[in-house]
Chain A
Amino acid sequence: MEKFETFTGTVCPLDRSNVDTDAIIPKQFLKSIKRSGFGPNLFDEWRYLDHGEPGMDNSKRPLNPEFVLNDSRYQGAQVLLTRENFGCGSSREHAPWALEDYGFRVIIAPSYADIFFNNCFKNGILPVVLDEKIVDELFAQASLEQALSLTVDLQQQQLVVGDAAPIPFEVDPFRKHCLLNGLDDIGLTLQHVDLIKAYEARRADEAPWLFS
């Protein structure tokens, strides 16, 4: 996983609550056995006017001009601003894969579904939780004629918009450490091989049926 470094990017405002992972990446694209290439089908049913299937040339499909991702102001956006309970539903990691493949590095919302939230960190995406009032203010700014640009500083745990006071955010220290250093969870866990084996020995004694 790549290290998460401070960057400044455009904010794309997706003004919906309860956006589910079926909407983020529809089921027909889950048939892939790869983990890359999902970006062109991110929000497929909202983004295009026709029905998408794997293998189509997405550059030739009719775009939905009403959908925010197709707005010229937000091209190349790296920050997705959205509403409560983002990423609810299915556990498909294809959702963060699609967001990451499209170019999103950070999501800002008042709340997330647990599995999605967890999956983001495994893929170098930072999901930021902010108070609903601050999210409302960011929506107002992001919807102006001039797109909103924002600096994300994970080390300092803050978002910076122009000269305004930085907006602080919370993040789990372990997850922050992993993101900043691009650490692979499996490698970290395998440092504890002896503890895992000791647990298994103890448990096999207490509950032998689990190991028979």
Chain B
Amino acid sequence: MSAKTLYDKLWESHLVRTDEDGTALIYIDRHLVHEVTSPQAFEGLRLAGRKPWRTEANLATPDHNVPTTERSGGVSTIVDPVSRLQVETLDQNCRDFAITEFEMLDPRQGIVHVIGPEQGATLPGMTVVCGDSHTSTHGAMGALAFGIGTSEVEHVLATQCLIQKKSKSMQVRVDGPVAAGVTAKDIVLAIIGKIGTAGGTGYAIEFAGDAIEALSIEGRLTLCNMAIEAGARAGFVAVDQKTIDYVKGRPYAPQGDDWDKAVAYWQTLHTDPGAEFDKVVILDGAAIKPQVTWGTSPEMVVGVDQAVPDPADEADKVKADGMRRALEYMGLEAGTPIQDIAVDKVFIGSCTNSRIEDLRAAAQVAKGQQVASNVKLALIVPGSGLVKAQAEQEGLDKIFVEAGFEWREPGCSMCLAMNADRLESGERCASTSNRNFEGRQGQGGRTHLVSPAMAAAAAIHGHFVEI
């Protein structure tokens, strides 16, 4: 038998049928659902008189539109009627089709990409999809996970399958170790800086190397989360003992005999020695510094010890134009040291960085300090109700509140500003989210993507600093 990549194994184990031209029907084990990309899919299902193929393969939660302020009154506390209707529509659809939903007041509610692994609902070896590009997150469990559009949401609901073609395979290897203070977020931003936001287009990326193996599961979730920012729909990491230990005992994890069988299978979920990739990219972990983005695309990133680059140094005209436009939007001059950039707001949260480990890292920086006077708002938004409860049990909430941060309820929040949390025009934010696109955090808002520790440090110092 020829040597296979992890991607080959994940792909082949889900093939229902393949056409001569390579168009395949693949089986989907887990479908995660949120309120923004599902209403039109449920409507389509109803119009065609169809029902979900396998109800129990679906798990839903509202996350994009939910308020992060006091909301014990439930859905009625959503002020914006359009947002409220969208959450109510999800609740109704899940009731009508008997789909399990962690509703707004359920302690397990949270960002869909945080609750999947947290519940053991996304397991190694699964195919996982959701109408959300950051579904790549779940690849950290050794799963094939990718984002889909609403037509495909309807397709999965109706058939439990998707029509796909196999992607090319890329291995991104980060040879370690990385320096202290360099996190999974810095690693993935450095990868995107190297290969570009379209570098992974058409590929499924396997992250490997000592620096990746050394990451916790939380770190790997952050890493795979941003595979899509490198253009790859799916990013994943091989299963190891950390993966298995992480899954054990979670509510949806297998138990008893099934557990032993599952572990035996999961232990095969790695790339075989000698297997070949279509492309290999290698980074030196030791050379990676804490990263800060300066522009309006995640590839516009430098180390915190560097300065904002000059478009005049870029030979490619289309790229140089893009840099000029980004500098103008960001209100920055080429050559400005990153550490001279002052921020107005700080956001710690999102499907990228809202897990317990992220909050611990931020709390460690914030402990006994005070948010700088130029910072108008520093938000901490836990990724789920369970992350919030865990953090409170550890006393992290007190550290944050004493330092002048706001401690909020779980949801997507200011990552994309669909709820009330947003930047005003011209405001500059140190954010642990995943996209620094124009207007992403609010029209005219200026986003710098960083790790949780860097975001907390920027809140305390009022600007970016070496950490």
Contacts and interface: CB of A to CB of B under 8 A. Distances in A.
Which 10 A/B pairs are nearest by Cβ-Cβ distance?
Answer: A209-B254, A93-B149, A122-B151, A33-B39, A119-B149, A91-B147, A91-B133, A209-B258, A85-B198, A93-B150
Interface string A25-62: 01110111111000000000100000100110000000
Given A54-B82, A113-B231, A207-B265, A173 B21 contact: yes
Interface string B429-461: 000000101111001000000000000000000
A174 B23 contact: yes
B104 to A, nearest CB: 16
Contacts of A174: 19, 21, 23, 163
Given A192-B16, A212-B254, 20 more contacts: A22-B435, A22-B437, A22-B439, A27-B418, A31-B83, A31-B86, A33-B39, A35-B40, A90-B132, A90-B435, A111-B198, A112-B201, A114-B232, A115-B149, A186-B48, A189-B158, A195-B16, A196-B159, A207-B261, A209-B259
Interface in B149-168: 149-152, 154-155, 158-161, 163, 165, 167
Interface in B128-159: 131-133, 135, 146-152, 154-155, 158-159
B17 A30 contact: no
Nearest to A46: B438
Contact of B418 (A31, A190, A192): A31
A210 B126 contact: yes
A45 B86 contact: no
Contact of B197 (A35, A88, A96, A188): A88
B37 A28 contact: no
A85 B231 contact: yes
A199 B16 CA distance: 6
B40 A45 contact: no
Given A33-B39, A185-B151, A207-B262, A192 B17 contact: yes
Interface string B260-288: 01100100000000000000000000000
A22 B440 contact: yes
Contact of B131 (A26, A34, A91, A172): A91
Centre residue among B50, B126, B439 by max chain A CB count within 10 A: B439
Contacts of B244: none
A207 B40 CA distance: 33
Interface in A134-153: none
A91 B148 contact: yes
Interface residues of A, number: 58
A31 B80 contact: yes
B417 interface: yes
Contacts of B435: 20, 22, 89-90
A31 B82 contact: yes
12 contacts: A18-B322, A31-B86, A55-B82, A89-B133, A90-B416, A111-B198, A112-B201, A114-B167, A115-B133, A115-B146, A118-B148, A174-B163
A172 B166 CA distance: 13
Given A34-B40, A196-B160, A23 B201 contact: no
A83 interface: yes
Interface in A160-207: 172-174, 185-186, 188-190, 192, 195-196, 199-200, 203, 206-207
B25 interface: yes
A173 B163 CA distance: 14
A17 interface: yes
B341 interface: no
A195 B152 CA distance: 19
A54 to B, nearest CB: 5
B191 to A, nearest CB: 16
A73 interface: no
Interface string B220-263: 00000000100111000000000000000000001000110110
Contacts, number: 182
Contacts of A51: 443
A111 to B, nearest CB: 6
A199 B197 CA distance: 36
Given A27-B416, A119-B149, A88 B82 contact: no
Interface in B34-65: 36-37, 39-40, 43, 48, 50, 53, 64-65
A174 B20 CA distance: 11
B152 A33 contact: no
Nearest to B425: A51
A100 interface: no
Contacts of B132: 90-91
A120 B104 CA distance: 32
A189 B297 contact: no
Contacts of A34: 39-40
B37 A84 contact: no
B48 A89 contact: no
A85 B231 CA distance: 9
A64 interface: no
Contacts of A199: 16, 27
B202 interface: yes
B29 interface: yes
Contacts of B443: 26, 45, 51
Contacts of B150: 35, 93
Contacts of A16: 322, 325
B117 to A, nearest CB: 16
B318 A84 contact: yes
B261 A209 contact: yes
B125 interface: yes
B75 interface: no
Contact of A114 (B17, B201, B259, B325): B201
